[in-house]
Amino acid sequence: MNELVEKIGNCIEFGKINKASPYPQTMQGQDGADELTKEALDAAVEPDIILEACNAAMQRIGDKFSRNEVFVPELLMAAKAMTAVMGHLKPFFQSGTIKAKGKFILGTVAGDLHDIGKNLVGMVVEGNGWEVIDLGTDVKSQKFIDSIKANPGCTVGLSALLTTTMINMSKTVKEIKTQFPNTTVIVGGAPLNLKAAQEMGADGYAHDPQSAVALLNNF
């Protein structure tokens, strides 16, 4: 059992999604995260044990990313492998067998249609045990507000890639904080930095997916 769970963790860390996946080359033809997770559940391995191993694997790849030992493609493949695992584990979240760490509402702010960074953050955060509610792109303030109302106690992540949409991000942060002063808001995106986040009134600034996870866990 331990060996099987360890294999799932390795698939996450090295981005082996399924048997058909050609990446990484050293694992070609081997079962990936998809097949191994199904096998583990069929063998009565507890879902929370699988999730714990996956969280550890995501932490390892995230640490490598932070040290510039791997780059966005490797992180993206790890996140996709984690998504394959989550496909098997989601029923256990829904039934209450596995408890999510919390709810994370995520969206790209109004006027901005970029979603690659947002999607990557969402996959990595979900892989670390959070329930992610992705509102998509070009999300107006009211949509964030409505989602917060529907999910009390959630944390909110705002993304922007365009300098011109930072003003919309700032407005959204202020509206959220006016109506929900206790709601934690994290911002991220290429034109941002910690100073800009603080000036907006956000609770945190995430420069990459792993720093978003670190902020969420700290909060």
What tens digit of pLDDT does each residue of 140-174 get?
Answer: 999 999 999 999 999 999 999 999 999 999 999 99
Over its C-alpha atoms, the chain yields an Rg (Å, rounded) of 18
Question: The domain that contains 44 carries what CATH number?
Answer: 1.10.1240.10
Regarding whether 113 and 70 lie in a shared domain, the answer is no
Q: What is the mean pLDDT of residues 123-136?
A: 89
Regarding whether 114 and 22 lie in a shared domain, the answer is no
Domain count, the chain: 2
Q: Point out the domain boundary residue: 95, 122, 142.
A: 95
Residues 23 and 74: their CA atoms lie apart, in Å, by 10
E-assigned strand segments in the chain: 103-108, 131-134, 155-159, 184-188, 204-205
Of the pLDDT bands very low, low, confident and very high (cuts 50, 70, 90), residue 133 is very high
Q: What is the mean pLDDT of residues 4-25?
A: 96
CB atoms within 10 A of CB 64: 17
Q: Read off the pLDDT of residues 36-91 as tens digits, 9 standing for 90 and up.
A: 999 999 999 999 899 889 988 988 998 898 889 999 899 889 989 998 998 999 88
Q: Which helix (H) or strand (E) holds 210?
A: helix 209-218
Of the pLDDT bands very low, low, confident and very high (cuts 50, 70, 90), residue 120 is confident
Residues 6+ apart with CB under 8 A from 98: 47, 48, 51, 89, 92
Residues 158 and 118: their CA atoms lie apart, in Å, by 8
Regarding whether 123 and 194 lie in a shared domain, the answer is yes
Regarding whether 47 and 118 lie in a shared domain, the answer is no
Regarding whether 88 and 145 lie in a shared domain, the answer is no
Which residue range forms the structural domain that includes residue 71?
A: 2-95
Q: Which of 85, 24, 82 is nearest to 213 (CA)?
A: 82
